[in-house]
A and B are shown apart, each in its own frame.
Chain A
């Protein structure tokens, strides 16, 4: 086995942090030695708070991804199949897309108050765009001869979409789905950090405000693991499902 060079830097950093904190005997409200962070992580894992917060965050992210991503996919199919509709919607899409999703937090707060619905609404808005933009390009880029075949076979519209359009665009649609998944987690955590008293983002914020840096870094590390794991999982799925096609879809993105 090759020498795992990638592990050197994080391990050295951890050891240096531990040694520096021990030797200086520093008591701080903003930083904690790695050993204390590990203890806080074990505590949060044992008393269930960590897993509950993870469930809340992932639940809101998944619901928003389903709603917003689904709506984005539907519109992507419509705009991808009809160039006329795509041209008509150009200005509205360009006008709404640049609105930062976080700017909608106060509006959702007025409409729904704290809780899951407002978080899901914002995640939906954020996930709608990557699905729409990449999906539309994917569907508009389908080999025209496939659509001609569909016409010759006199397939109905649902059959045309289900049997020709979606399978042909699937590798690139999966890339869009992967991006939207990353966006859903990012936006869910952001909503929790700024306003919503739920999930991992709120757990992080709470630990900071309670001046418990060990707990804060434990949550942060866990959040990093969750994000990394989710991304790795989807990358493996993409490679398994689409092989070379997935790789090509990534390149032309």
Chain B
């Protein structure tokens, strides 16, 4: 398909999206859905404007949520890549640890929250621990898989060159795992945002998760929708940024 042929479709698609927003506005104005839980987009936007104006608290909550998400994700990524490399590089560790990891992996990450609360209280470290625990799995498993699936001939080359284990890891195994790791990191960031919201709802301190629960409790639906829109934007932007980074870093693959 030609590039020129795509543009009208994009414009039409944006038109469909705007149509949905318009329908939302009409539904709210006509009172088809109770305004208590469905404010029109106009009121949600007004709440956004107010929240970001001087004296509004949205800037604080947005940065807190992004910080939670990023710190937890970085922690999970470092641990995931290190442990994954360790597990992937040796058949023996795979045999010993594999079944345990396979058992923990399907466990809903938020289920660890009560345990984290029991140890860390309703605190910032609790939120980070929950995020890190939840988003470590995709990276860990992808790294282990990528490191374990090195082309056997490359290992023979490494043996012929008398590379040390560490050199094999950094020169052959990890580069081999990079495509897997990058895809997993992107997925891990999505998980991190979800768990940041969960953690903030439970910890009841700062952050968008806490703010939208408060808005719901006091029936301030425009504030609630403003928060949900911002969370959608954070999710969209972070995913898009990592997708761009992934494409750039993987250019050498040349498909």
- Establish whether residues B228 and A103, one from each chain, have CB atoms under 8 Å apart when the complex forms: yes
- Establish whether residues B194 and A102, one from each chain, have CB atoms under 8 Å apart when the complex forms: yes
Q: Say if the beta carbon of A169 comes within 8 Å of chain B.
A: no
Whole-angstrom distance between the Cβ of A127 and the nearest chain B Cβ: 14
Q: Which residue of B lies closest to A206 (CB)?
A: B114
Which of A138-146, A158-166, A189-197 lies at the interface with chain B? A189-197
Q: Taking A6-B95, A88-B12, A193-B198 as contacts, is the C-beta distance between A228 and B106 under 8 angstroms?
A: yes
A238 to B199, CA, bound (A): 35
- Establish whether residues A91 and B17, one from each chain, have CB atoms under 8 Å apart when the complex forms: yes
Q: Say if the beta carbon of A7 comes within 8 Å of chain B.
A: yes
Residues of A within 8 A of B9 (CB): 87-88, 90
Report which residue of A92, A102, A217 has the largest number of chain B beta carbons within 10 angstroms of its beta carbon. Answer: A102
Which of A36-44, A67-75, A105-113, A242-250 lies at the interface with chain B? A105-113
Whole-angstrom distance between the Cβ of A193 and the nearest chain B Cβ: 5
Whole-angstrom distance between the Cβ of B163 and the nearest chain A Cβ: 28
- Establish whether residues B212 and A110, one from each chain, have CB atoms under 8 Å apart when the complex forms: no
Q: Say if the beta carbon of B161 comes within 8 Å of chain A.
A: no
A185 to B107, CA, bound (A): 9
Q: Say if the beta carbon of A100 comes within 8 Å of chain B.
A: yes
Q: Say if the beta carbon of A213 comes within 8 Å of chain B.
A: yes
Contact with A along B227-255 (1 / 0, CB 8 A): 11001110110010000000000000000
Q: Say if the beta carbon of A51 comes within 8 Å of chain B.
A: no
Q: Say if the beta carbon of A58 comes within 8 Å of chain B.
A: no
Residues of B within 8 A of A251 (CB): none
Partner of B106, one of A107, A194, A227: A227
A207 to B113, CA, bound (A): 12
Q: Say if the beta carbon of B174 comes within 8 Å of chain A.
A: no
A95 to B237, CA, bound (A): 11
For chain A, residues 24 to 79, give those with C-beta under 8 angstroms from any C-beta of chain B: 29-31
Report which residue of B109, B114, B194, B213 has the largest number of chain A beta carbons within 10 angstroms of its beta carbon. Answer: B114
Q: Say if the beta carbon of B37 comes within 8 Å of chain A.
A: yes
- Establish whether residues B99 and A6, one from each chain, have CB atoms under 8 Å apart when the complex forms: yes
Whole-angstrom distance between the Cβ of B115 and the nearest chain A Cβ: 7
Instruction: Give the bracket for the number of chain B residues in contact with chain A.
Output: 35 or more
Q: Say if the beta carbon of B86 comes within 8 Å of chain A.
A: no
- Establish whether residues A207 and B37, one from each chain, have CB atoms under 8 Å apart when the complex forms: no
Report which residue of A94, A110, A213 has the largest number of chain B beta carbons within 10 angstroms of its beta carbon. Answer: A110
Q: Which residue of B lies closest to A95 (CB)?
A: B17
Partner of A98, one of B197, B224, B236: B236
Instruction: Give the bracket for the number of chain A residues in contact with chain B.
Output: 35 or more
- Establish whether residues A6 and B100, one from each chain, have CB atoms under 8 Å apart when the complex forms: yes
Partner of B110, one of A190, A217, A231: A190
For chain B, residues 176 to 210, give those with C-beta under 8 angstroms from any C-beta of chain A: 190, 193-194, 197-198, 201-202, 208-209
Residues of B within 8 A of A208 (CB): 114-115, 117-118
- Establish whether residues A103 and B197, one from each chain, have CB atoms under 8 Å apart when the complex forms: yes
A5 to B37, CA, bound (A): 54
Which of B45-53, B140-148, B150-158, B214-222 lies at the interface with chain A? B214-222
Q: Say if the beta carbon of A216 comes within 8 Å of chain B.
A: yes
Whole-angstrom distance between the Cβ of B238 and the nearest chain A Cβ: 8
- Establish whether residues A103 and B227, one from each chain, have CB atoms under 8 Å apart when the complex forms: yes
Residues of B within 8 A of A231 (CB): 106
Q: Say if the beta carbon of B111 comes within 8 Å of chain A.
A: yes
Report which residue of B13, B14, B98, B231 has the largest number of chain A beta carbons within 10 angstroms of its beta carbon. Answer: B13
Residues of B within 8 A of A8 (CB): 96
Partner of A110, one of B13, B102, B219: B219
Q: Say if the beta carbon of B104 comes within 8 Å of chain A.
A: yes
Q: Taking A205-B114, A228-B106 as contacts, is the C-beta distance between A99 and B221 under 8 angstroms?
A: no
A208 to B111, CA, bound (A): 11
Whole-angstrom distance between the Cβ of A30 and the nearest chain B Cβ: 4
Partner of B115, one of A111, A185, A216: A216
For chain A, residues 1 to 31, give those with C-beta under 8 angstroms from any C-beta of chain B: 5-10, 29-31
Report which residue of A90, A107, A200, A230 has the largest number of chain B beta carbons within 10 angstroms of its beta carbon. Answer: A107
- Establish whether residues B96 and A228, one from each chain, have CB atoms under 8 Å apart when the complex forms: no
Besides A92-B13, A98-B233, A110-B216, 8 more A-B contacts (Cβ < 8 Å) are: A10-B103, A88-B13, A91-B13, A99-B228, A102-B209, A185-B108, A201-B108, A224-B106
Closest 8 CB pairs of A and B: A6-B99, A98-B235, A106-B216, A30-B118, A227-B106, A208-B114, A110-B37, A99-B232
A-B contact pairs, 21 of them (CB 8 A): A6-B96, A30-B115, A31-B119, A87-B12, A90-B10, A91-B17, A92-B16, A98-B190, A100-B194, A102-B201, A103-B212, A107-B216, A110-B216, A190-B108, A193-B113, A193-B114, A193-B202, A216-B115, A223-B108, A224-B103, A224-B104
